[in-house]
Every structure is written in structure tokens, then in C-alpha cells.
Structure 1
Amino acid sequence: MDALTWITAGSLAAWVWLLFGQGLFWRTDVRLPPRVPPGQWPSVAIVVPARDEAEALRSSLPSLLAQDYPGRAEIFLVDDGSTDGTGELARALAEEHGGLSLTVDSPGEPQPGWTGKLWAVRHGMALARARTDAQYYLLTDADIAHAPDSLRELVSAAWSGELDLVSQMARLRVAAFWERLIVPAFVYFFAQLYPFRRINRPGARTTAAAGGCVLLRREAAERAGVPERIRGAVIDDVALARAVRRAGGRIWLGLADRVHSVRPYPGLGPLWRMVSRSAYAQLRHRPLVMAGTVAGLAVVYLVPPVAVVAGALTGDVVPLVAGAAAWAVMAGTFVPMLRYYRQPPALAVVLPFTALLYLLMTVDSAVQHYRGRGAAWKGRTYARPEAAP
């Protein structure tokens, strides 16, 4: 057997293992657990960090103001040094739409060692503690819109399951060509790396959250020492979930039905930057881990179509059949995510091409890091975590 045959066999074996052994990551039925309304609704502080988010707020903030929540809820929007009138627009929208009480404040530039978002979250949580008796924080991004019953459902799920952190992966926008190609795969790869079913098991080692929508129990936040303990984290949602779990908290993560992002990604450039800005940080800035990741992506996603083409051209049946089988399993596991995003299942066939793009984004993330431009977001570039004070 030649090298291609052996590598293709390894790819097929990897896909068989992923199909059955990686927490059924490809299924999209992990939604909010059964919910029983609490007898007395706890108070909630909604913390929204925002930096140059005026355009997104026009769609997202009215959805928060209109929350149909039986208990007390207040919104604390933290304007993180915006230059586009984010704070002024937020106040105007509150006056126009009414609804929940809104406080807009700014913490100034982050102190050394803090990322901008976590600095803003820290300020919002401090405001909430000073002005309310909130038992929960809803940490939600400025580009995330919520259905009117979103907060009620999140609190009910946390209360019923005695959960300290409930997070939903918001449904991202899929309208333009590149969004259709990149976005469903983004969530698919995230679930493959962090299988939701494993995360939701009590005491599981696999831990993550989706930063766009996190309901966090105040006691759990104080016990975990967040956000201070994770102040330099670029991938803040995963760091938050790990801190809460290490402190003994119970966590749940799943897909959302009625929470969605309003941020458009009309071209490849914005999507590329979204992935590359944190990809190398996800690999902990380790060259060997980077090399292993690139090799793994190539073997698992790129080898099957290469083997099919090579086998067809040379008449070698073994790599042709093994490559086709691996490609079929790959596409089959991607179909549920495409259906969740209401996209044609035929797009599953081009997943190897999308994986190649992600491979190149990851390499670019490492290159930008060593050029001093890694983990850049809205005018800020963050150092390696171990280099931060």
C-alpha cells in the first residue's frame, strides 16, 4: 500500500471516530433544557459591552428593552471608547422605545493586562452590584438580538436545572455568499472542538461558553473571581466557563432558536478577520500545536477529496473508495448544521474547501501574531497572555 492509501485510511478512521466518539457533536438538537418558572423571579442585570456598535445597536438594543420579564431587569450598556456615537444612540433608542431601564456609562481605557471587552464587562458588573440586587448577570454582545421571552427562558432554565452558567450559541447571520460558506462551518467546527453534550455533563473536563449570550449567577461569578481572574483572555467566553467550572459551578451550552446576531459579514475579509484574530490564541501561541493542527486539518478534511481525484485518475480503487467514504461521512455530519441554518444540504460537499480556508486563516493568525498584530480587534492589539502584567 502506498503513502496516500495509508493516509486516506487514517482519515477514514478519524471520521468514524468523530462520528461516534466525539460527543455526537454533529447533532443540532441541544437546546434549552426543560424549564419550570421560578416561584419568585430573580432580578437580572443585563451587561452589554459595546465599542463602535452604533449600527448593530439599532437592531439589537430595542430587543433587550422589550424583554417580557416578570421580575426586575435593568440594562447596563458600557461604551468602551466608541467614536461612532454608540452611547448617544443607546440613550436615544431607550427614549424612543421605552421598556427596561437603561444605564449608559464608560470605564475609560483598559488597565494593563485587561482586554477591552472584559474591562467593559467588569465595569458593567460593578455598576450592577452598586445599583441593584441582581442575582444574575446576562452578558450579551452588542450585536445580539433577543426574542421578547429570551431572558425569561434563560432564567427559567438556570433556575430549573440549578445551573450557574447558561449559554446559547446565537444564530449568526447567513445571507451573503461567503456567510453561507463560512458561518455554518464556524459553528460546526466549534461544536466539534467543544461538544455540547460533553460540556453539559456535571463535572465534565470539556468546558466552553458562547460569549454572545451568557446568563451567569452572581454567586458563581464571585466564587470564580470573574472577570478579574480572566482579565487578559482573548477567547473570553471559554475562559469564563472554565473559571466557573473550576469553582464548582454547573454549566450548560447549546444552540439558540430565538437569539441571533445582527452583524453582517458581506465579504470574505470580515469573516477572515473574525476567525484569524483569535485562532492562534486558541492554540495557546504554541508553534508545535499549530503544526499539529494544520496537519490534522489537512489529513481529516483535505485528504478525502484528494484521494478521490487521485484514485479516479490512476485507477487505484482503494484510495478512491476510502476517500469517498470519508468524504461522505464528513458531508453527512455537516448536513444537520446546514439545516439548522436553513441552507441547502448540497453545500456539505464543499466542506473540504471551507476547511482549507480555515486552515489558511489559522496560519495567517500565527503570522500576524509574530508580526505584532495578533489578536487585533477594533484598533486594539493584545499581547500573549503570559506577557500581560
Structure 2
Amino acid sequence: MSAIAWTAAGSLVAWLWLLLGQGFFWRTDVRLPPRTEPAVWPDVCVVVPARDEAEMLPASLPSLLAQDYPGRAEVILVDDGSTDGTGELARALAQRHGGLPLTVDSPGEPPAGWTGKLWAVRHGIGLARARGPEYLLLTDADIAHAPDSLRALVAAARTGGFDVVSQMARLRVESRWERLVVPAFVYFFAQLYPFRRIGRKGARTSAAAGGCVLLRTEAAERARIPDAIRHAVIDDVALARTVRSIGGHLWLGLAERVDSVRPYPRLHDLWRMVARSAYAQLRHSPLLLAGTVAGLAVVYLVPPVALVVGAAGGGTAAAVLGGSAWLVMTGTYVPMLRYYRQPLWLAPLLPFTAFVYLLMTVDSAVQHYRGRGAAWKGRTYARPGAVPDEG
């Protein structure tokens, strides 16, 4: 066989292993586990870090204030140095909509060694602990919750004995680029962190989705959250790994009624979202970057190239092996497209999307070595701390 045929064969083997040996990552049926409502509902504080979120709050904050929760609950919004009136708008929305009590406070600028979001979370958790809640719901200012979201999260945590219950919010998919990039973002995340493995006690795989994390207060105190992860850019994964390190029990799955309202209409918007943390995910390692680029090329780009080159040049083996690998790849992507209610003709385009992600990852590394690091909401973290190692 030719070199391209052998490479396509390697890609096919990789896809067969991903299909069967990577925790069935491609399945989208990991939703909130069976739960029983407790006889006495525990107290909960909802902590919302917000920086320049005036545009998002009207679609997200009222959904938190309107939570149908049988126990005592309140919302703490931490205004992280906003310049667009985020805090004032939050108070106005609370007066207009009523519902759960709302506290708005600001921690000031983060000291050296802290990311802005985690400094805001620390301030919010400090305010919450004075109320003595059993659980903390950490949720972003661009996340809208169904009225029974908090109720379902707490019931699942109590029933399963989980220290962390996290849902991957359904991201917005409306523009052309959102349709092409967003479902793949969640697909790649699940491939790295198979949800089924995360829910097993004692598993090494640990992750959470930062937009919606219900955290047992006692576990947060033992794990020193967020102080222990104060410089992590990928704070949700860092949080999960730290809670796991103290023997905590985690659960992560796809949301049914928790949605992100933040739009990413242009490729530039999506590029910034991914590139700001992609190299941090690789622990700023040139070796891991090279391996990732090579892996993406072999697994995602070789199959269509082998099919086209083999078909054009009479290389039957290359065409068959490349086409088979592409077929398996396409099949694993179909469930995610269905979850996002997108047309299935997007599934064969996954190699193109993977190539875009490859470029985003390389750009993330370039920005890091230019000293720009992770930039978000007017702050730049030149050398953010790496996520703690598993185990």
C-alpha cells in the first residue's frame, strides 16, 4: 500500500477506537440522572460573576430570580469591575421581576495571581458562606435557566450523593458560523472528557462546564475552591479536578433546559472564544501542541484527503480506508447535530471544522508567545497557571 493508504489505515483504527473505547463520548443521552425530591430542601446561594454583561442580563438574570425552588435560595451577583452599568441594571431587573432575593456587590480589581472571574467567584462565595448554604450554584451571566433548573440540580445532587453536578448549557446556534463551529465545540469537549467516565466514583477523568456548576459547600471548603485554582484560565476543569482530588463525586452531562444566550455571530467571535484558552488546555507545552496538531491532521484531515487522492489516482486502498474513516467520523457527529437540532448534512463537514479548530489552537500558542496570553473582557493573562494534573 502507499503511504497515504497506510496513514488512512491508522486514521481508521483511531476512529474505531474512538467509537468503542473512548467512553461512548459521541452519545448525547447523558442527562440529569434519576432523582428523588428531598423531604427538606437545603439552602442554596447562586453566585453569578459578571463583567460588562448589561447586554446579557435581561435574558438571563430574570430566569434565576424566577426559580421555583421549595427551599431557601438567593442570588449573589458579583459586579467584576463593569463599565456598562451591569450592577445597576441587575438591581433594576430585580425590582421589576421580583422573585429570589438579589445581592449585588463588587470585589474590586483582582490581585496578582488571580484571574478576574475567579476573584469574583471568591468574593461571591465569601458572601454566600455567611448565609450557611449547603450548596452553591456557580453560573455565568449569559446562562438562562428554566424555572425548575435549581430544583432539578439539587435533587440530582442529593439523590446521587454528588459533590459537583454540572450541566453543559446548550449554546446558541443561529448564525452560519455558529452552526458550523458550536456543536463541534461540545463534541470535541466530550471527546476529551467523556461524560460517562466523569460520573464514576474514583474515575480519573474530571471536568465540569463552568456555565452551570452546583457545588456542595463542604466540598468547596475542603478543596479550597476557588483559592486552589486562582490562576486557572480553564477554571471549570480545574475546579472539577481539585474536587476529585479530595475524593469528591462528580457528574457532568448535557443540559435540556439550561441555555447560553450569548451570540457568536461571526467567525471572529468564535475564534476569540476558543483561542483564548486553547493553549492553556495544552499546558503551554510546545510538545503537546505539536502532538495535537499532528493528531488532528491524522484523525480528521487524512480521511477526506485519502479518499479524494485515492479516487483520483486509482489508489483503491487509500480511497476505501479514507472513506471508511470519514464515514465513522461522520456517524459519531450525527447525535450532536441532532441534539442541537441542526441539519445532518453538516456532519461530513467535520474535517473542515476540525481544521478551523487546528488553526485556532495554533493561533492561541502564537498569541501566548507574543505575550498576549488569554484575553477576555479587557483583561489579558500573559501566563495563566496550568490546570492541575489529574491524579
Length-normalised TM-score, structure 2 = 0.98
Partner of 2:351: 352
- The AA in structure 2 aligned to 1:226 is I
| Residues 1:379 and 2:378 aligned together | yes
After superposition, the C-alpha distances for 1:309-353 in whole angstroms (9 at most, x for unaligned) are 101110110000000000000000000000000001111010000
Partner of 1:80: 80
Partner of 1:49: 49
Preserved contact between residue 2 and residue 318 of structure 2 (Cα < 8 Å): no
Partner of 2:296: 297
Q: Which secondary structure state, in structure 2, belongs to the residue aligned with residue 271 of structure 1?
A: helix
- The AA in structure 2 aligned to 1:33 is P
Q: 1:3 Cα shift? A: 1.3
Partner of 2:368: 369
- The AA in structure 1 aligned to 2:34 is P
Partner of 1:141: 140
After superposition, the C-alpha distances for 1:233-276 in whole angstroms (9 at most, x for unaligned) are 00000000001010111000000000000000111000000000
Partner of 1:160: 159
Partner of 2:6: 6
- The AA in structure 1 aligned to 2:32 is L
Partner of 2:127: 127
Partner of 2:271: 272
| Residues 1:100 and 2:100 aligned together | yes
Partner of 2:282: 283
Whole-angstrom CA distance in 1 between matches of 2:203 and 2:91: 42
Q: Which secondary structure state, in structure 2, belongs to the residue aligned with residue 55 of structure 1?
A: coil
Whole-angstrom CA distance in 2 between matches of 1:223 and 1:386: 21
Q: Which secondary structure state, in structure 2, belongs to the residue aligned with residue 294 of structure 1?
A: helix
| Residues 1:150 and 2:149 aligned together | yes
Q: Tell me which stretches of 4 or more aligned residues in structure 1 moved more than 6 Å.
A: none
- The AA in structure 2 aligned to 1:379 is G
Partner of 2:389: none
Whole-angstrom CA distance in 1 between matches of 2:212 and 2:142: 10
Whole-angstrom CA distance in 2 between matches of 1:3 and 1:91: 64
After superposition, the C-alpha distances for 1:18-72 in whole angstroms (9 at most, x for unaligned) are 0000000000000000010111000000000000000110100000000000000
Q: 1:2 Cα shift? A: 1.9
Whole-angstrom CA distance in 1 between matches of 2:383 and 2:93: 38
Identity of aligned residues (%): 77
- The AA in structure 2 aligned to 1:36 is T
Q: 1:282 Cα shift? A: 0.1
After superposition, the C-alpha distances for 1:112-170 in whole angstroms (9 at most, x for unaligned) are 1000000000000001112x121100000000000000000000000000110000000
Whole-angstrom CA distance in 2 between matches of 1:284 and 1:386: 8
Whole-angstrom CA distance in 2 between matches of 1:120 and 1:304: 45
- The AA in structure 2 aligned to 1:319 is A
| Residues 1:194 and 2:227 aligned together | no
Q: Which secondary structure state, in structure 1, belongs to the residue aligned with residue 213 of structure 2?
A: strand
- The AA in structure 2 aligned to 1:196 is F
Q: Which secondary structure state, in structure 2, belongs to the residue aligned with residue 64 of structure 1?
A: helix
Please list every run of 5 or more consecutive structure 2 residues that lacks an aligned counterpart in the other structure.
387-391
Q: Which secondary structure state, in structure 1, belongs to the residue aligned with residue 184 of structure 2?
A: helix
Q: Which secondary structure state, in structure 1, belongs to the residue aligned with residue 166 of structure 2?
A: strand
Q: Which moved more, 1:370-379 or 1:151-160?
A: 370-379
Whole-angstrom CA distance in 2 between matches of 1:261 and 1:109: 26
Whole-angstrom CA distance in 1 between matches of 2:82 and 2:226: 21
Partner of 1:307: 306
Whole-angstrom CA distance in 2 between matches of 1:346 and 1:258: 26
Q: Which secondary structure state, in structure 2, belongs to the residue aligned with residue 189 of structure 1?
A: helix
Q: Which secondary structure state, in structure 2, belongs to the residue aligned with residue 33 of structure 1?
A: coil
- The AA in structure 2 aligned to 1:268 is L
Whole-angstrom CA distance in 2 between matches of 1:167 and 1:299: 32
- The AA in structure 1 aligned to 2:50 is A
After superposition, the C-alpha distances for 1:178-204 in whole angstroms (9 at most, x for unaligned) are 000000000000000000001111010
Partner of 1:263: 262
Whole-angstrom CA distance in 2 between matches of 1:135 and 1:348: 43
Q: 1:383 Cα shift? A: 3.2
- The AA in structure 1 aligned to 2:368 is H
Q: Which secondary structure state, in structure 2, belongs to the residue aligned with residue 173 of structure 1?
A: coil
Partner of 2:22: 22
Preserved contact between residue 264 and residue 270 of structure 2 (Cα < 8 Å): yes
Length-normalised TM-score, structure 1 = 0.98
Partner of 1:207: 206
Whole-angstrom CA distance in 2 between matches of 1:46 and 1:225: 18
Q: 1:386 Cα shift? A: 5.3
Aligned residues: 386
Q: Which secondary structure state, in structure 1, belongs to the residue aligned with residue 208 of structure 2?
A: coil
- The AA in structure 2 aligned to 1:29 is D
